[in-house]
Amino acid sequence: MLTRKPLFLACCACLPVLALAVGCDDNSQTTSTGATGGETSTSSSGKTTSSISSSSTGMGGLPNVDPADKCPGNLIELGLDQSIKLTGTTAGQNDDYHEFCADSDPATTSAPDVVYELKTSQYCSFSMDLVGSAGFVPAAELRAQGCADRNGGDECINSSSLSHLGKELVPGDYFIVVDGANKTSGDFTLTLSCKTPGCGDGIINSAEEQCDPGTPTPGDGCGDPGSTSACKFEATDAPDTCAEVSNTNGTIGIAKGQNVFVPAALPLFNTAAATDDYEGSCSYTNFSGPDQVFAIKPTSSGLMTVVIGRDYQGMDYCQPPNYDQAECWNSVAWIHEDDCSTDMTKELALANAPEGTQNMSTGFWDNGNLTCRWSTPADNNVLTIQANVTAGKTYYLFVEGDTPEGAQHSGPYLLNVVLQ
């Protein structure tokens, strides 16, 4: 299987801007101390700790906690329904750690970084917002398993494209490393919040919710807050496996000159309820997400274009600055010719894409001349495949998430198929 080669924003080899770390190591050996405390103090090691009292909520009046240069970082204890705004700087600090959405090539793009330790006492909907001073492009990685090393489940935001992270957190110790992209450093503001989970907060509560787009939109594939299907899937059926594809289920017929939308009307398809059965040549090995499959039968030969990520009017579903729409998920798609299976040798060639072309807009190397492609926030999560097709043949289109879990790795989508 071919693997992706990151240019700048990656999870060891992951997605730009918001991604899950697959697992790789920093060169620091510092580990967590798990410190606790009810007031500001300084330990014998020189580590400052600060907790937020249960009566202090909101943004006002909470003490700022300065970041530390190295792990485990200065401690912040954040209780349920509490928020804190932190100000700090990376200027003049050491470069101790590598963040997968900022330091894809540490030898040339590394920058000073600082660290916080975060302790949460209750299950909550966590959010992290990051803003940098003029000329500074901050990135922040939330590390869930250890401070000094990147691990699977870590998440990272790069403020050049994404300044907000939202996810559920279980009680425990976490670490936030604030770094700079493009060798930049400077002042930053980091806002952290830990709220009571609820349908409509834009964060999937895995215990009770299947989806949560935050701000509901028509056809987003998720039941609206207050409805009988609140934060549960509402989606048009799509085949989960090749065996489910039939003439009446998952088959798309198209003639030359046609512009076809599938489904023809709301609600959209949604991969979130699917299983992971297939991998394309650009999928992460043994780490791909839930997928669905379609058969496309052209009645004429020509150039076929498949677009995922735009609405019926051709507008990008995913819009900045926060990319919190339900359709803002990292999709992967590829096409097989006359074969619906996991056999990657059947993958169709991509039209007009020579081997090894560098795609600067996504920050990744294209996957040779094969059709497997993936979307990124840099392109508003719009994925486009072009391939030459022959009349009378059947082509199988696979659509999946780039990783197995999380709100950014599955969701609603519309297929736009054009034959020219």
Q: Among residues 411, 379, 209, 203, which one has the least CA distance to residue 291?
A: 411
- Count of residues in the chain: 420
Q: What is the chain's mean pLDDT, rounded?
A: 80
What tokens were used for 275?
Answer: 């299983």
Distance CA 80, CA 374 (A): 37
Mean pLDDT, residues 178-195: 93
Could you tell me which residues come within 8 angstroms of residue 215 by beta carbon, excluding any fewer than 6 positions away?
A: 202, 324, 325
Strands 155-158 and 164-169: unpaired
In this structure, the answer to whether residues 69 and 181 fall within a common structural domain is: yes
pLDDT, position 282: 86
User: Could you check whether the bond before residue 354 is cis, i.e. omega within 30 degrees of 0?
Assistant: no
In this structure, the answer to whether residues 280 and 174 fall within a common structural domain is: no
| CATH code for position 165 | 2.60.120.380
Q: Among residues 317, 128, 79, 323, which one has the least CA distance to residue 214?
A: 323
271 — phi, psi (to 5°)?
A: -80, -10
The pTM score is: 0.63
Residue 121 located in a structural domain? yes
Helix (H, G, I), strand (E, B) or coil at 33: coil
In this structure, the answer to whether residues 153 and 302 fall within a common structural domain is: no
Percent of the chain at pLDDT > 90 equals: 47
Distance CA 414, CA 266 (A): 9
Residue 225 located in a structural domain? no
Residue 229 located in a structural domain? no
Residue 2 located in a structural domain? no
Q: Model confidence at 91, in pLDDT bands (50, 70, 90)?
A: very high
The total number of structural domains in the chain stands at 2
409 — phi, psi (to 5°)?
A: -125, 15
Residue 10 located in a structural domain? no
CA 207 to chain centre: 21
Give pLDDT tens digits for 350-398: 887 655 544 434 433 445 688 999 888 778 899 999 999 999 999 999 9
Residue 133 located in a structural domain? yes
In this structure, the answer to whether residues 158 and 297 fall within a common structural domain is: no
Give pLDDT tens digits for 119-140: 999 999 999 999 999 999 999 9
Q: What is the 3-state secondary structure (H, E, C) of 259-288?
A: EEEECCCCCCEEHHHCCCCCCCCCCCCCCC
Residue 84: which domain range? Answer: 19-195
Residue 13 located in a structural domain? no
Residue 235 located in a structural domain? no
The DSSP secondary-structure symbol of 361 reads T
Give pLDDT tens digits for 262-289: 999 888 999 988 999 998 888 876 678 8
- Give the residue from 176, 195, 214 where a domain finishes: 195
What does the angle CA 408 – CA 411 – CA 415 come to, to the nearest 5 degrees?
125
In this structure, the answer to whether residues 134 and 23 fall within a common structural domain is: yes
**DSSP run (H or E) holding 49:** strand 48-51
Give the bridge partners for 415, in sequence order. Answer: 262, 308
What does the angle CA 213 – CA 276 – CA 140 come to, to the nearest 5 degrees?
50
